[in-house]
Structure 1
């Protein structure tokens, strides 16, 4: 298994390969370039200033998906808040719009479909602003709902890949899960012996306090582009029942880092990055936020969360024309719900009025959104081709 000093090179190679596979993957893995190119876009001055609320900061397709609460209910919510800041909600709309437009291009859909996706996206978002307490009858994406149905049908065996014939479950080491150093294993053992962490894990399972919690197995987790160079672990934790038996929980531990997304000036956010991520999750994705906790380990700030079988990433390999439009509305409605739950009625109405002010018709895309997506799509396409050239030369 790779030593910590070797991990960075392996992760960098994996990240480069993943981002070279498609323009859509390049968009997902390049948050820094998104904000850099947005700042250089001719349309940036026309982007409206929305209310100062928690935003995802990296609102692309892969960061939305089914999330379960403690009672087993499942909703489509934002599932990754690493970049979350108190900022401009318009940035989430532009990021989602770019992700959808790139996915449409990857599905070889004509430009007029992208135009309709942007229109429906804004209308779905506006529907959440108009009536925060209701579902949107127009949000009927079969792609999104099929992932939600799949999530409802999943169980622990679909999530954990342990050796079932072992006395206790184990994490299988290999390409994704790497062995720990002695220092990492000791730090994780100490972490789960902490009373506050044990109480949090027990509460997730609906168990009273005073029960024993212990680390059963753990591994370094090679996962995603955003974790490059950061601490990321998967841990199986044992929980002793009242009858003396053991049940198990799968825990994700991820290092939090300084966000790239621009925060609104003068806003008061937690200075600790893990606390920032957890606070944002509670505000935007309550199902997820209730399962998270900030911790410190090995001199770093991390957040921990229980993984459930229902937590799935929304992966779109191919859009049909009709589903592309429906998915755009459905996902924008989800983002709108995450935003609107932080607004009072006056703020909500004012933001909706701002969105509607730049629309010539009932479903027309605001020009600032359309121009931003078009400009960024061009920048990302050029950036993607240059990335592929560098990857090919290095290979």
Structure 2
């Protein structure tokens, strides 16, 4: 375990400039050339790709990732959040701020834009993958494959975007450190848990670098693989209970919990301000864009969707960082009233990474989210699709509940958090290996734990920054500068 480093330097190393919004194009990862190709029609050899990864160490030494010191012109974190909220539903913003003010970990969940700007201010490796963009601990979890197998994987892709692999790794490590501290774990154990996440990532990438392309593509983490991780009968029972709850979280379960019969018709239950009936204009918009969404599905899935009829819709508040975005749930019925399907329609905005990186391949943000999810997940929701709504707003559709489940991070012991951090690091490596050059990344990381220890030092220092930023938000609320609705 490395000793804690505070990052006294400027955050730049070897004379390299920062790679933020004002960086020259030459310092950014190329998007026009496939890094696996050495000449027209010629694929780079594994040895060439490994050397490319090792060469990145000259630009950004692995030990350089330890440094964190906010720049003198670092944007005010509350100002960053307020800028994000300008085009959101204003009546919901107090809920967002109230949720973020609850704890440093809650703040971190909602502050992806703040951390993206901080990561962009330092040099990066240029080893590009499809980033999750918000790879904190609670954005991993259980869900059902189309074959109804229960898988463990990334499960949130609102911020997905092509960028340097280490940005996701650092956000994961920071979330582990912040969660450990909130759980009252000693600093040494917080550092160990963060380092285990990074070590698991490095180990998995190196293992995947030795596999063939199809083997990598078909790699997945089945939920049943989680049970052997339980170290005792009590832990195994807890794991089995979690899997059981996830298997029960289906549209049928949501149907019983979220709906009622009113005047002989099935309706979504109101729970203002979190669930409110869709107004006349919203209902018309949802019905109108349904056909546009349908066109983004494959032919056999269109046929399946056509067997359902529209029953009801409501506006729903979800998450922490997403609060204020336009989000709806739609109830459909299939064979009969007891054959429900719940879909979620969520607004897709510009990724928080976008202003700091070269242009990505997708103009439509709903398409970006769906394409990123399909690329990163081992198997994806069969009803994933996208469309454009009123005023040119981008949306994407998915199932509301499809055997989804998440870990109770707040209740984890130090040993449990270590195990979960390893699992998340492994899952993140699997996702990155599908979209980036895993051999080059493995070459950069190497067999030693240099990168692991450096990112751990960064995570502990940035956890301090998160506490400071959370306090800044709390002070703004206390001063009446922003309105927050706690506990909603």
Which TM-score applies when normalising by structure 2?
Answer: 0.69
Q: Is 1:48 matched with 2:145?
A: no
Q: Is 1:185 matched with 2:272?
A: no
Alignment correspondent of 2:271: 174
Distance, in Å, in 2 between the alignment partners of 1:126 and 1:187 is 46
Q: Is 1:382 matched with 2:471?
A: no
**1:235–1:252 contact (8 Å) kept in structure 2:** yes
- Three-state SS of the structure 2 residue aligned to 1:236 is strand
Distance, in Å, in 2 between the alignment partners of 1:79 and 1:349 is 25
**Residues 242-291 of structure 1: CA distance to partner in whole angstroms, max 9, x if unpaired?**
xx877321010001111112578555411110001011011001433543
Alignment correspondent of 1:93: 169
Alignment correspondent of 1:337: 430
**Residues 98-117 of structure 1: CA distance to partner in whole angstroms, max 9, x if unpaired?**
11110000011011112211
Q: How far 1:8 moved relative to its partner?
A: 3.1
- Three-state SS of the structure 1 residue aligned to 2:363 is coil
Tell me the matched-pair count. Answer: 373
Distance, in Å, in 2 between the alignment partners of 1:303 and 1:281 is 11
Q: Is 1:304 matched with 2:397?
A: yes
**Residues 9-35 of structure 1: CA distance to partner in whole angstroms, max 9, x if unpaired?**
431111111111111101101111112
- Three-state SS of the structure 1 residue aligned to 2:196 is helix
Distance, in Å, in 1 between the alignment partners of 2:241 and 2:360 is 39
Distance, in Å, in 1 between the alignment partners of 2:355 and 2:377 is 19
Q: Is 1:233 matched with 2:346?
A: no
Distance, in Å, in 2 between the alignment partners of 1:210 and 1:323 is 41
**1:55–1:92 contact (8 Å) kept in structure 2:** yes
- Three-state SS of the structure 1 residue aligned to 2:106 is helix
Change (3 A) 1:210 1:281: closer
Change (3 A) 1:102 1:213: same
Distance, in Å, in 2 between the alignment partners of 1:371 and 1:262 is 26
- Three-state SS of the structure 1 residue aligned to 2:397 is strand
Distance, in Å, in 1 between the alignment partners of 2:461 and 2:414 is 23
**Residues 146-187 of structure 1: CA distance to partner in whole angstroms, max 9, x if unpaired?**
534421244444323244556553211122111222211111
Q: Is 1:353 matched with 2:443?
A: yes
Change (3 A) 1:20 1:67: same
Q: Gapped runs of 5+ residues in structure 1?
A: none
Distance, in Å, in 2 between the alignment partners of 1:355 and 1:168 is 59
- Three-state SS of the structure 2 residue aligned to 1:59 is coil
User: Which is higher, the Rg of structure 1 or of structure 2?
Assistant: 2
Of 445, 455, 458, which residue of structure 2 is paired with 1:372? Answer: 458
Distance, in Å, in 2 between the alignment partners of 1:13 and 1:247 is 37
**1:67–1:75 contact (8 Å) kept in structure 2:** yes
Of 151, 173, 185, which residue of structure 2 is paired with 1:75? Answer: 151
- Three-state SS of the structure 1 residue aligned to 2:385 is strand
Distance, in Å, in 2 between the alignment partners of 1:238 and 1:293 is 19
**Residues 71-111 of structure 1: CA distance to partner in whole angstroms, max 9, x if unpaired?**
21111111110100011111110001111110000011011
Q: How far 1:324 moved relative to its partner?
A: 1.3
Which TM-score applies when normalising by structure 1?
Answer: 0.84
Q: Gapped runs of 5+ residues in structure 2?
A: 1-85, 209-215, 484-488
**1:61–1:315 contact (8 Å) kept in structure 2:** no
Q: Is 1:35 matched with 2:116?
A: yes
Alignment correspondent of 2:42: none
**1:178–1:221 contact (8 Å) kept in structure 2:** yes
Alignment correspondent of 1:277: 369
Change (3 A) 1:146 1:262: farther
